[in-house]
Structure formats: structure tokens, C-alpha cells
Structure 1
Amino acid sequence: MKIIAMIPARYSASRFPGKLMKDLGGKTVIQRTYEASVNTNLFDTVYVVTDSYIIKENIEKAGGNVIMSKKEHECGSDRIAEAVEDIDADIVINVQGDEPFIDTISLTKLITVFKEDKKQEVDLASLKVQITNPEEIANPNNVKVITDVNNLAIYFSRSVIPFHRDQNVHVKYYKHKGVYAFRKQALLDFYKTPITPLEASEKIEAVRYQEIGKKIKMVETSVEAVGIDTPEDLEKAKQYLKL
């Protein structure tokens, strides 16, 4: 089984433009993410997939592998799918470019899903983390996920799911973490399918996979990633790096 990592890396970002090229302890954020991915020793090859020549130059100078996107893309899955079409791989892991502190334990759990899936019934694996704070649960920026008894995703939503009507029933809420492991064919099928109605409504790419019949296995993790979405996050990451 050939396993590769793809790091989609856009230069522009609405909340923090150019964040991937910001300095983080003497290296750019994207370089640290790339090197951390390589150092997990989980992948046969790691690629950065970008629309930016600035990012391309940075990674190539660091000795890394870069693929330039040929088209504009709305989501990471589309960017990765275009890049992986002609690459020999069985499983593709989407690593977030703005999360330089790689959670090796969770990535290993995702890979294990496919190693144990002897009948190849699972198309994707992704992560969920339990949340208990009412504000976090209600926040539409946090994508919630509900699963069946086999931990296959039933639905993803920005709304509160499940709705806690019966207060005598204990309910757990899970936030979806946007780290995916794909079978290559699932990625290509996604790429060839136009945006679907529920995906368009929710603005959640995982929903398109469900709308075209793909099975998504959810893996619970307790690790919260140190992501960089704002200048304040970058300062926190610099302090984290010193620990």
C-alpha cells in the first residue's frame, strides 16, 4: 500500500494573508509543516500543492517536492485531486499547511483504518474530537459530525447535531477536524462531480463525498491541533515551538 501526503498551500488567506510564508522560529510555516510531515516517517512521499510561486520556491530551496496547481480551486480536495491524478498512490493524506506541529498519533490511526479495511469498503477516514462547551457546540464555525454504531459518518453540519430534545438522554457532541485520508479513487470521483446541493448550503466538502455515496470512517482523537489562522495564533505557535 503506497501512502503519500499532500499539503494544499494557498498563499492568500482571508483572515491572515500570506500566513504560510510567515517566519516561525527561522523557517516559514509551510516549510515547518512539510518537514514535520516528512519526519513522521509515515509517508512514501510528501508533496506541497500550491498556486504560489513564492511557496514553490521556498519548498524547493528546502529540498521538498512541489506540485503547482493548474486551475483555481474552491477546496483542498479539488486541489489535491488535480495533483494526484497522475501519481502512483493508494492512500492520500491531506495535511493542513497551517498546522506545523504534526499529530503523528492521529495520522497513524487514519492509516490503520485502511490497513484493517480488508474488503476496501471505506473510502475516506477523518478525525473527530469531543466538545462539551455549549458555545463551541453552537458555533457554526465548528463543523459537527454524527456517526453510526460503526463510526461511519451519517452527516456533517454547522448546525447543532444531534438536537438535544430529550434532556434525560446523554448526548455527546463531536467537532470534525479537517484532516482526511482518502483512497485515490474517492478523490478523483469527488473531483469529477460538480458541487452538490447540501455541500453548497453547508460549505462543507465532506458532505459532497456523502452525497455521492462515499463511506467516511471517523476516528476519535483527543489532540487539538495548533493551527495558525490569525497573527495571534502565530505568536502562540512561536511560544509552543520553544517548549
Structure 2
Amino acid sequence: MKIVGVIPARFGSTRFPGKPLVPLKGRPLIQWTIEGAKKSQLLNDLIVATDDERIKAAAEAVGAKVVMTASELPTGSDRIHAAIQNISCDVVVNIQGDEPLVTGQLIDRLAQVFIDEPKMDMATLAHPVSQEELDSMNSVKVVLNHNDEALYFSRYAIPYSRHKAAELGNYEGCLKHIGMYAYSKNFLKQFCEAPPALIEKAESLEQLRALYLGAKIKVIRVQEASLGVDTPEDLVKLEKLLSQGM
């Protein structure tokens, strides 16, 4: 089984233009992600998929392979799908370019799913949810079945619509989703060629298209999320934490 890691990185982020190139303790953000991903034991190859020559240059400067993709691609999944068209592989791990603290161990936990269960369509990550995350529409919640496969994702406090978690004294009805994925190459093709589903558009969550298509999504439980960078404020916070010896 050949497993390829792809880091989608575009320059034109709405909330943080040029994000992959901003320095974090003297190194571009994309360099942190590449260096973390290279510590994976299960990836057979690692590439950066970008639409920008400056990102290409930064990635190649630290030894990463780069595939150029069109700027108009709507999502990271589409960028990954475009990047692997001419690459022979069985499984693709989507490594977010704005996750500078990503570890090889985390990538390998996703990849291992397909070694253990070769017919799985997708895998993703989640961690125990807090009351604050339950209440936040910015936090995506996932409900699982008894095999730790996703039943549904939502920005709402599912399944606590009638009885609140605090009242029940139990927060295990859902987990907080972490947006890092692995896919079989065949399912990624099916996913990207399918139109957005109504439930996907209603919740603004592309993983719901996968469930609509009948995919099995294995959810790997981890203790906590790594710290991503969505905004300049996130970068300042992360820089401070790293300076404190995080």
C-alpha cells in the first residue's frame, strides 16, 4: 500500500493572505508543517500542492516536492485531488498547511487506519469536547457509532438538543472534530467529482458530502487538538506559547 501526504497551501487566504509564508520564530509556516510531516514513518511520499511560486520556492528550499495547482480550486480537497492525478498511490493524507505543530505520529495514526481496514473510505481526528466548544458555532461536533465511525457532523451541540450535556453529566455524546483527513484515492476522486450535497451547504461542512455519498469515516480519538493558525492573532498566540517552551 502506497500512502502519500499532501499539504495544500494557497496564497490567497481570505482571513490571512500569504499565511503559508508568514514567519513563526524565523521560519515560514509552511516549513514547520513540512518538517513535522517528514517525521511520519508511514508516508511513502510528501508533496506540497500550491498555486503560488513563492510558496513553491519556500517548500523546495526545505526539500519538499511541489505540484502546482489552479488558483480557482474551491477547497483543499480539490487541490489535493488535482495534485495527485499523475501520482500512483492508494491513500492520501490531507495535511493542513496551517498546522505548524503537526506531528508524524498524528499523520501515522490516520494512515494506519487504511493498513488495518483497507476498505475504509476516509479517516479523521477528534478529541473530547468541552462546554465552551459545544456552545460555539465555530467548533464542529461529530457523533460516532459503536465502531468509532462518523454518523453526523454539525456546528450545533448535537446530540444535546433536548437534554443538555451538563444536565446529563456526560459529554461523551459527541467529540470535537479536528479537520485533518485521510482518504482512499478512489473515494477522493468520487468525492471531488460529486456536487455539493444539501446537508453540506446547509452546515458549510464538506465532510457531510462524504456521508451523503455513503462513505465510512473512521474517527481517531486524540486527547487534544494541535494549534492551527487561521488568523494573525492565532500566530501571535502560538509564537508566545513556543517562546514559553511549549
TM-score by length of 2: 0.91
State the aligned residue count. 240
Structure 1 unpaired stretches of 5+: none
Residue 129 of structure 1 contacts residue 176 of structure 1 at CA under 8 Å; is this kept in 2?
Answer: yes
Letter in 2 for 1:125: A
* Higher deviation after alignment, 47-56 or 64-73: 64-73
The 3-state SS of whatever aligns with 2:196 is coil
Residue in structure 1 matching 2:136, options 127, 134, 139: 139
Residue of structure 2 in register with 1:178 after alignment? 179
Spell out structure 1 runs of 4+ moving beyond 4 A.
none
Residue of structure 1 in register with 2:120 after alignment? 122
Pick closer, same or farther for the CA change 1:77–1:240 going to 2, 3 Å: same
Residue 21 of structure 1 contacts residue 28 of structure 1 at CA under 8 Å; is this kept in 2?
Answer: yes
Q: RMSD in angstroms over aligned alpha carbons?
A: 1.7
Give CA-to-partner distance per residue, 1:169-191, whole Å, 9 cap, x none: 73423111001011111100011
Give the Cα–Cα distance (whole angstroms) in 2 for the partners of residues 165 and 218 of structure 1.
25
Residue of structure 2 in register with 1:205 after alignment? 206
Residue of structure 2 in register with 1:222 after alignment? 223
> What percent identity do the matched residue pairs reach?
38
Residue of structure 1 in register with 2:191 after alignment? 190
TM-score by length of 1: 0.92
Give the Cα–Cα distance (whole angstroms) in 2 for the partners of residues 36 and 151 of structure 1.
26
Give the Cα–Cα distance (whole angstroms) in 1 for the partners of residues 241 and 225 of structure 2.
13
The 3-state SS of whatever aligns with 2:47 is strand
The 3-state SS of whatever aligns with 2:20 is helix
1:160 to 2:157 alignment: yes
**1:222-241 alignment, distance < 5 Å:** 222-241=223-242
Residue of structure 2 in register with 1:149 after alignment? 146
How far is 1:145 from its partner?
Answer: 0.5
Structure 2 unpaired stretches of 5+: none
The 3-state SS of whatever aligns with 1:77 is helix
Give the Cα–Cα distance (whole angstroms) in 2 for the partners of residues 168 and 25 of structure 1.
44
How far is 1:115 from its partner?
Answer: 1.4
Give the Cα–Cα distance (whole angstroms) in 2 for the partners of residues 22 and 147 of structure 1.
37
